[in-house]
C-alpha cells in the first residue's frame, strides 16, 4: 500500500517541476514524463504485491476533517479499474511526448502535463477511497483536472463551450453524490462505506440508488445524461481523450458497482432500469456515431455505446442477485467488468490512432482525409486492430466480454418467471449494437484510410513517430492478449464477483473461459495466416507502380470527389433512426438538364443537449433577464417595499 500511494503522489506532482520552469525550457517536459512513468511503475509494483498477498489490502489513518477518515482499500474490484488506469496513463505519456511537445505548444504544454498527472492520482484515490469525504474530495479534484485538460486549447471558442458544459454536468452529478453520501451516513451512521452486502432494504434505499444513478450516470455518459461527453472528448488533445474515454468515465461505472455491492437484497426493478438504460445508450450511441463526420466525435459516441454494453451486463447481474440466480449474476458482472478493461484498451488505441491521423492531416473532418494507408501504414494497421476489437469480433478482447453478456442473457431462460425470461432480449440488442458498430467502422476506415486523398494535406501526410507507434502497439498487444488468452483473467474476475456479493456460481467464469479455448486457437491461426498472406501480397506487389486510382465503376477519369463521404456512406442506416437523430440536410438538390454546381452537407445535433437543454436554458435566461430588469429597476422605494414584504412573510412563518 505504501508503494502504491508513493507512486500516486509522484504522478500527482510530476508536472510541478515543469510549471516552475520557463515555457521555453524543454527540460520541464522531460521531468514530467520521467516522474510520471516512475510513479506508474512504483504504483504498479505496489498493486501487484497487494494482489498476490491478500484478497484486499486496507490502510486506515486518522484525519482531522470532521466525519473523515483516511481509509483506503484495494480489492479485486479496485484492481480491475486500477490496472488499465496505470497502463493507459503510461501509454498516453509516451504518446504525448511527440504528439504534444512543449516546443510546439509552449502556451499550454505545462498546464496539460500538470493536470495529466493530477487526474490519474485523483482517479486512483476515487477507486480506492472507502470514506465518503475522501471519495468526494478525490472526485472533485478529478472533475477539475478533467476540466483543465478538456480546455487545454482554451483560445478556441468550441473548446471553452465544451469545457463549460462539462463543468455544469459534472457538478450536477457531484451534488447528487453529496446527497447520496449523506443518506448513506443516515443509514449506517458513518461516512465510511460499509462492507459488501451489509445494508438492508429501508426507506432510503430507493433514494440512494436513484442518486447513484444520477451522479455516477452523468460521469459515465449513460443516455440521456451523456450531454457533456461528445464535445469534451472532441475538444481535448487526442491522448487526453484516450484517458478520459478509456478511464475517467469508468469511475461512474465503478461507483454503480460499489454502491450496489453494499446492499444485502437488490430490488428487481433496479436491474430492469439498468437494462433499459443500457439498451437506449447502446443503440442510440452507435446510431449517433454513424451520423458523425468529425473523427473524434464519432469515437466519443462509441464510448457512449460501450457504456451501454457495460450497463447491460451490470443490469443482468442485478437481476441475478434479485432472483437468486448466481450464474446470471456472475456472468453479467464478469461481462461488465471485463468490458470496462477491454474498452479502456481498444478505445485508448483508437483515440491515439486518431491523434496520429489528426497530427498528420491537421483536421478532424473525415471528408478531408482519404488514402492515408499509403502514407500511414502503421497507423492504419493499428487503427484496424482497434476497430476489430471495438466491434466485438474474435480474436480480439471485445468479443470475450460480450460473450459473457450473451451467456448471461441466455441463462435468464432458466428462471420460469416471464419477467426474467425477457432478459433474453439483451442478446439481439447486443447483436444489433455490434452490427451497427461494424458498419460504422467500415465507413470510418474506408473513408479515412482507403480510396484517394481528398486534400493535399491527406496526400502528403506522415506516419506516427516511433514512440507514438510503440504506445499504440502496447495497447494492441493488450487487446490481443485478452482475446487469445482470456482464461488468464478468470481468477481476477472470480475474486471481483466474490467481492461484489457472496455468489455461489463463481466457477461459471472458469467454465465459460474454457469454452473460449478453441476460439483463441482459431484466432491465433487466423492472425498468422493473415500476416503471411499480407507479407506475400507485399512481396508480390513490390516494385509495381499503380497505373490508375481506385476503380470507380468503369469510369476512366475519376477524381477524389467521386467517393463516398461520411454522410453518404451511412445515409441508409441513419435514416432508420431519423425519429431520434433528426439530421439536418442542406443543399444537394439539382434542377434541369444542365444544373449549376451544388453542394450537400448534413449535421446531426444531439437531441438532448442541442434540441432540449440548450433551448430550455435560453428561455430561462431570457425570463431571468426580464425578471431582473423588472425587479431591479433602480427605484429605492420599491427596494424598501421588497424588504417590508419579506419581513412580513417571515413574521407569518414564525407565527405558525
CB-CB contact of 239 with 92 (8 Å): yes
| Strand locations in 424-531 (E) | none
pLDDT single digits (tens) 428-444: 999 999 999 999 999 99
End-to-end CA distance of the chain: 57
Q: What is the mean pLDDT of residues 403-429?
A: 81
DSSP state of 595: P
At 556, is the pLDDT very low, low, confident or very high (cuts 50, 70, 90)?
low
At 412, is the pLDDT very low, low, confident or very high (cuts 50, 70, 90)?
confident
At 242, is the pLDDT very low, low, confident or very high (cuts 50, 70, 90)?
very high
State how far the Cα of 77 lies from the Cα of 153, in Å rounded to an integer: 35
Mean residue pLDDT of the chain comes to: 89
Query: For 514-548, what is the HEC assignment?
Result: HCCHHHHHHHHHHHHHHHHHHHHHHHHHCCCCCCC
Q: What is the mean pLDDT of residues 224-237?
A: 94
State how far the Cα of 324 lies from the Cα of 336, in Å rounded to an integer: 19
Q: The C-alpha cell of 282 is what?
A: 447502446
DSSP state of 554: T
pLDDT single digits (tens) 183-198: 998 888 788 888 888 8
CA 349, 471, 82, 176 torsion-angle sign: negative
Helix H or strand E encompassing 470 = helix 466-484
The whole-number pLDDT of residue 418 equals 56
Checking if the pLDDT of 553 tops 70, the result is no
**Residue 321: which of 471, 502, 165 has the closest Cα?**
502
The whole-number pLDDT of residue 555 equals 62
The whole-number pLDDT of residue 315 equals 95
The whole-number pLDDT of residue 356 equals 95
State how far the Cα of 148 lies from the Cα of 167, in Å rounded to an integer: 10
The whole-number pLDDT of residue 419 equals 67
The whole-number pLDDT of residue 520 equals 72
CB-CB contact of 409 with 392 (8 Å): no
State how far the Cα of 533 lies from the Cα of 85, in Å rounded to an integer: 36
Q: What is the mean pLDDT of residues 55-75?
A: 85
Q: Where are the domains of the chain?
A: 1-196+203-243, 265-534+573-586+601-606, 609-655
Rg (CA), the chain: 26
pLDDT single digits (tens) 275-312: 999 999 999 999 999 999 999 999 999 999 999 999 99
pTM, two decimal places: 0.92
Q: What is the mean pLDDT of residues 345-370?
A: 94
Give the DSSP letter string of 58-81. EEEE--SSTT--EEEEE-HHHHHH
The DSSP bridge partners found for residue 60 are 71
When mean pLDDT is compared across 203-217, 298-312, 556-570, the lowest value belongs to 556-570
Phi and psi at residue 264, in whole multiples of 5°? -75, -40
The whole-number pLDDT of residue 34 equals 95
Checking if the pLDDT of 558 tops 80, the result is no
The whole-number pLDDT of residue 458 equals 86
The whole-number pLDDT of residue 518 equals 75
Where does residue 236 fall: left (phi above 0), alpha (psi -120 to 50 degrees), or beta otherwise? beta
At 546, is the pLDDT very low, low, confident or very high (cuts 50, 70, 90)?
low
Q: The C-alpha cell of 449 is what?
A: 484510410
* Stronger pLDDT, 46 or 508, i.e. the higher one: 46
CB-CB contact of 18 with 110 (8 Å): yes
Checking if the pLDDT of 524 tops 80, the result is no
State how far the Cα of 593 lies from the Cα of 421, in Å rounded to an integer: 59
Q: What is the mean pLDDT of residues 171-188?
A: 93
Checking if the pLDDT of 587 tops 70, the result is yes
Phi and psi at residue 129, in whole multiples of 5°? -70, 130
Checking if the pLDDT of 523 tops 80, the result is no
Q: DSSP H helical segments within 547-635, as ranges? A: 566-569, 571-576, 578-581, 614-631
Q: How many CA atoms lie within 13 A of 237 on its CB side?
A: 25
CB-CB contact of 509 with 338 (8 Å): no
The whole-number pLDDT of residue 516 equals 74
State how far the Cα of 164 lies from the Cα of 178, in Å rounded to an integer: 21
The whole-number pLDDT of residue 39 equals 96
Amino acid at each position: 500500500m505504501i508503494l502504491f500511494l508513493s507512486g500516486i503522489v509522484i504522478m500527482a506532482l510530476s508536472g510541478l517541476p515543469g510549471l516552475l520552469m520557463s515555457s521555453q525550457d524543454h527540460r520541464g517536459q522531460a521531468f514530467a514524463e520521467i516522474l510520471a512513468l516512475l510513479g506508474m511503475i512504483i504504483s504498479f509494483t505496489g498493486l501487484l504485491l497487494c494482489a498476490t498477498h491478500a484478497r484486499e489490502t486496507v490502510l486506515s489513518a486518522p484525519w482531522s476533517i470532521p466525519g473523515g477518515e483516511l481509509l483506503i482499500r484495494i480489492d479485486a474490484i479496485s484492481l480491475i479499474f486500477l490496472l488499465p488506469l496505470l497502463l493507459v496513463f503510461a501509454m498516453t505519456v509516451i504518446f504525448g511526448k511527440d504528439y504534444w511537445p512543449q516546443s510546439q505548444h509552449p502556451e499550454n504544454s505545462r498546464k496539460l502535463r500538470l493536470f495529466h498527472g493530477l487526474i490519474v492520482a485523483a482517479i486512483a484515490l476515487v477507486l480506492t477511497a472507502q470514506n465518503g469525504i475522501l471519495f468526494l474530495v478525490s472526485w472533485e479534484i478529478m472533475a477539475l483536472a478533467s476540466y483543465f485538460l478538456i480546455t487545454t486549447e482554451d483560445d478556441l471558442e468550441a473548446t471553452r463551450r465544451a469545457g463549460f458544459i462539462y463543468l455544469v454536468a459534472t457538478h450536477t452529478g457531484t451534488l447528487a453524490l453529496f446527497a447520496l453520501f449523506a443518506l448513506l451516513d443516515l443509514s449506517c451512521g458513518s461516512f465510511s462505506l460499509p462492507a459488501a452486502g451489509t445494508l438492508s432494504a429501508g426507506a432510503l434505499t430507493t433514494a440512494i440508488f436513484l442518486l447513484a444513478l444520477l451522479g455516477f450516470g452523468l460521469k459515465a455518459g449513460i443516455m440521456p445524461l451523456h450531454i457533456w461527453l461528445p464535445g469534451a472528448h472532441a475538444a481535448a488533445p487526442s491522448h487526453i481523450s484516450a484517458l478520459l474515454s478509456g478511464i475517467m468515465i469508468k469511475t461512474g461505472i465503478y461507483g454503480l458497482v460499489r454502491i450496489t455491492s453494499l446492499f444485502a437484497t437488490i430490488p428487481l426493478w433496479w436491474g430492469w432500469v439498468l437494462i433499459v438504460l443500457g439498451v437506449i445508450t447502446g443503440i442510440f450511441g452507435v446510431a449517433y456515431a454513424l451520423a458523425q463526420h468529425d473523427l473524434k466525435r464519432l469515437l466519443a459516441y462509441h464510448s457512449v455505446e460501450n457504456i451501454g454494453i457495460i450497463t447491460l451486463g451490470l443490469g443482468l447481474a442485478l437481476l441475478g442477485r434479485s432472483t437468486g440466480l448466481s450464474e446470471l449474476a456472475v456472468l453479467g458482472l464478469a461481462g461488465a467488468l471485463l468490458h470496462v478493461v477491454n474498452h479502456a484498451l481498444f478505445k485508448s488505441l483508437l483515440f491515439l490512432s486518431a491523434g496520429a491521423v489528426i497530427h498528420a492531416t491537421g483536421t478532424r473532418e473525415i471528408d478531408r482525409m482519404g488514402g492515408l494507408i499509403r502514407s500511414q501504414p502503421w497507423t492504419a494497421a493499428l487503427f484496424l486492430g482497434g476497430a476489430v476489437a471495438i466491434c466485438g469480433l474474435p480474436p480480439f478482447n471485445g468479443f470475450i466480454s460480450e460473450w459473457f453478456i450473451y451467456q448471461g442473457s441466455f441463462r435468464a431462460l432458466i428462471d420460469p418467471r416471464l419477467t426474467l425470461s425477457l432478459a433474453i432480449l439483451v442478446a439481439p440488442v447486443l447483436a444489433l449494437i455490434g452490427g451497427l458498430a461494424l458498419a460504422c467502422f467500415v465507413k470510418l476506415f474506408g473513408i479515412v484510410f482507403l480510396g484517394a486523398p481528398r486534400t493535399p494535406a491527406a496526400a502528403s501526410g506522415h506516419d506516427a513517430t516511433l514512440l507514438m507507434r510503440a504506445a499504440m502497439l502496447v495497447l494492441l498487444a493488450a487487446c490481443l492478449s485478452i482475446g487469445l488468452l482470456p482464461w488468464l483473467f478468470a481468477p481476477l474476475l472470480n475474486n471481483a464477483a466474490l467481492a461484489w456479493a457472496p455468489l455461489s456460481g463463481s466457477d461459471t467464469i472458469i467454465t465459460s473461459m474454457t469454452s473460449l479455448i478453441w476460439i483463441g486457437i482459431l484466432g491465433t491461426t487466423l492472425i498468422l495466416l493473415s500476416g503471411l498472406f499480407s507479407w506475400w501480397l507485399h512481396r508480390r506487389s513490390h516494385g509495381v507502380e499503380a497505373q490508375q486510382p481506385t476503380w470507380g465503376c468503369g469510369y476512366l477519369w475519376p477524381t477524389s470527389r467521386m467517393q463516398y463521404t461520411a454522410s453518404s456512406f451511412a445515409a441508409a442506416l441513419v435514416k432508420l433512426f431519423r425519429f431520434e437523430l433528426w439530421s439536418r440536410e442542406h443543399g444537394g438538390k439539382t434542377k434541369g438538364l444542365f444544373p449549376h454546381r451544388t453542394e450537400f452537407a448534413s449535421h446531426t445535433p444531439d437531441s438532448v443537449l442541442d434540441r432540449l437543454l440548450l433551448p430550455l436554458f435560453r428561455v430561462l435566461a431570457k425570463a431571468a433577464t426580464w425578471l431582473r430588469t423588472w425587479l431591479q429597476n433602480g427605484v429605492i422605494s420599491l427596494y424598501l417595499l421588497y424588504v417590508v414584504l419579506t419581513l412580513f412573510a417571515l413574521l407569518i412563518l414564525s407565527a405558525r
